[in-house]
Structure 1
Amino acid sequence: MTLTWIRQPPASYRLQRLSGMSLFATLSPRELKIIDGMLHDRQYLANEIIFDEGEEGQALYIILSGVVSINRRREHGDEFIANLTEGNFFGDVALLDNSPRSAQAKAAENCEVAVFFRADFSSLLETNAVIGYKISLELARLNSRRLRDSLDDHLRSEVL
């Protein structure tokens, strides 16, 4: 009797990226593969606008390579918020509501992102509620931290 080993293909680079992200930390490998199958790859050139402030949010973006700059319009010019790099994500509020984008996202250099559209997330909530629940809970925790940090910053500036 001869044993034949069937080689499993290596996990996709994108799947490896997802497994290390806090947003997907509670998902099993099988659940991660389901999410991976729902993502859409997009490439942006340096200085290309990914989405603009005020636009309707329709997707969450996961940076696979490159740098994305987040900025807000102000009376006296743009206000820099952050540069996000590989492994970070942005636009996550769009998965939960239809409110306009609160900032602009622009490729600071050539970049590749995986896009998770709200329509796909809504479908996931209907077809696989457990995965949808896990992601929703992580989004709630993330937004809670952001709110707390923002409040802390505001209180510090009031004291100073």
Structure 2
Amino acid sequence: MTLTWIRQPPTSYRMQRLSGMSLFATLSPRELKIIDGMLHNRNYLANEIIFDEGEEGQALYIILSGKVSINRRREHGDEMIAELAAGNFFGDVALLDNSPRSAQVKAIENCEVAVFFRADFSSLLETNAVIGYKISLELARLNSRRLRDSLDANSRSEAL
């Protein structure tokens, strides 16, 4: 009896990154491959601004390598509110609406990101509603978690 091994197609570095992200955790390998085909790679140098606060949001960004800082303008100058590394994403609200960016994002070190444009997401919702639904549900969960965390933080600061 001869055993035949089934060969899996090679998985790209980007596909490996995507498969480990909560945003895409519910997608099958076939669905993830569809998403991978819709993404656009971009590279940013250290200290380069990826987008500025107040700009119209056009896309979600997935960090493949490097680090970014999320900054808000304050009266006394810019305040860093978060630092994100590979495996994280930002700008997700842009997939859902046209509101201005609520913060600036700047590369701390050289970065490679995969960009998911709103137009591509809208097209996905029309052509493959199941994948669009799964991603939308994860975005809703993420945003409700952020809202709860923000409310909890406000409650703690009011108690002090």
TM-score (norm 1): 0.95
Measured in 2, the distance between the counterparts of 1:49 and 1:78 equals 13
Describe the superposition over 1:42-65 as per-residue Cα deviations: whole angstroms up to 9, x where unpaired.
Answer: 000000000000000000000000
Percent of residue pairs identical: 91
The Cα RMSD (Å) is 1.7
Measured in 1, the distance between the counterparts of 2:77 and 2:16 equals 38
Describe the superposition over 1:69-110 as per-residue Cα deviations: whole angstroms up to 9, x where unpaired.
Answer: 100001110111111000000000000000000000000000
Measured in 1, the distance between the counterparts of 2:51 and 2:4 equals 50
Gapped regions of structure 1 (runs ≥ 5):
none
* Poorly superposed stretches of 4+, deviation over 4 Å: 1-9
Aligned-residue offset at 1:3: 10
Measured in 1, the distance between the counterparts of 2:147 and 2:29 equals 30
Measured in 1, the distance between the counterparts of 2:99 and 2:55 equals 8
Quote the residue 2:143 is aligned against: 143
Give the number of equivalent residue pairs: 160
Aligned-residue offset at 1:10: 1.8
Quote the residue 1:158 is aligned against: 158
Measured in 2, the distance between the counterparts of 1:5 and 1:122 equals 39
